[in-house]
A and B are shown apart, each in its own frame.
Chain A
Amino acid sequence: MNPIIRWFHKLGSPPYFDRFAARWAPWGYGLGLLVMAWGLYGALFQVPADYQQGDSFRILYIHVPSAWMSMAVFALMAIYAAIALVWRIKLCEILAMACAPIGAAFTLITLLTGSIWGKPMWGTWWDWDPRLTTELILLFLYLGVIGLYNAIDDRRAAARAAGLLAIVGVVLLPVIRYSVVWWNSLHQGQTIRLLGESSMDSSMIPPLVWMIVGTKLWFIGALLTRARADNLRRESGKGWVAELARGKA
């Protein structure tokens, strides 16, 4: 058997996944923290203030990576949920459900930092603008997935029901993405492009790239840790968990 396929098969084993997650999650957190620290240093101390927004534009360095993560994590959750629904892979159920609280955290950061940024720039904490409203709906979708997963006792049935909600919710992502194009919006249009020229000055880009990479690495750590917790919860009656618990005592 192909070694990669064999590794995937092994990863599906709960004890093997537990060891894998326990080993690699600290690396995700650690590297994420280092990269984000470097990015934040650049964002706060190296980049010049914006000529119009002054230093308030520095909020961008946490707002934009969090906003991108809020959507990327939802897409990933839906992919895991679809795989879990089609092939009934338990690990994908666990990973899909582990995405939800992390994605909700990034969405909350997006909304709160956007609100804090909006007050000095727009003169208001909140506006029922298409971008803001769709992002708020995304938070409600995340909370719906989390609530549904915890409302049903049977873990597998709960994951399937919540996964279905995640898959349906994916239709919101292009609406969020293009809301500033389709409607008149108080929120600014697209200024940063991964492919093509950004309308932001190039000197302001590097810390943003570090923050985008840093949040992704942090997410890997958080995903593995949350998935590990759910894996332990599902397997709590098994001997390997009891042995692990005795070892930790």
Chain B
Amino acid sequence: MSYLNYVIAAYAVFVIVLGWDFVATRLQIRRELRGARLRAEREAARPRKGAAASELSR
């Protein structure tokens, strides 16, 4: 095949850029879901308003 290096380079660019787009989006979704889970856990761990504060009432 003539100009083989150029053809390989061009097709590699195509695969790498689309592959990056695919992976980056997956990671973004994972990050958002992880952030949401951590936020929910923080909120669950926070003492509720009106609940007895055992440490202070001792």
List chain A positions with a Cβ less than 8 A from chain B.
Answer: 29, 40, 44, 49, 54-56, 58-59, 62-63, 66, 101-102, 105, 108-109, 112-113, 116-117, 119-120, 218, 222, 225-226, 228-229, 232-233, 236-237, 241-242, 244-246, 248-249
In the assembled complex, the Cα of A29 lies from the Cα of B22 at a distance in Å of 9
Contact assessment for A56 and B2 in the assembled complex, using a CB-CB cutoff below 8 Å? yes
Interface residues of B, Cβ cutoff 8 Å to A: 1-4, 6-7, 9-11, 13-14, 17-18, 20-22, 25-26, 28-29, 32-37, 39-40
Q: Could you tell me the distance between the alpha carbons of A112 and B16 in the complex, rounded to whole angstroms?
A: 12
Give the number of residue pairs across the A-B interface with Cβ within 8 Å. Answer: 96
Min CB distance B16 to A, Å, is 9
Classify the secondary structure of A's interface with B.
Answer: helix
Task: Choose from A44, A63, A105, A249 the contact partner of B17 (Cβ within 8 Å).
Answer: A105
- Closest CB in chain A relative to B35 CB, distance in Å: 6
Question: Closest chain A residue to B25 by CB distance?
Answer: A225
Which residues on B sit within 8 Å (CB–CB) of A108?
A: 17
Are B25 and A226 in contact, with the CB atoms below 8 A? Answer: yes
Check if A232 sits within 8 Å of B36, measured CB to CB: yes
What are 10 A-B contacts defined by CB distance under 8 Å?
A: A56-B7, A62-B10, A62-B11, A101-B21, A105-B17, A112-B17, A113-B13, A232-B36, A241-B36, A242-B39
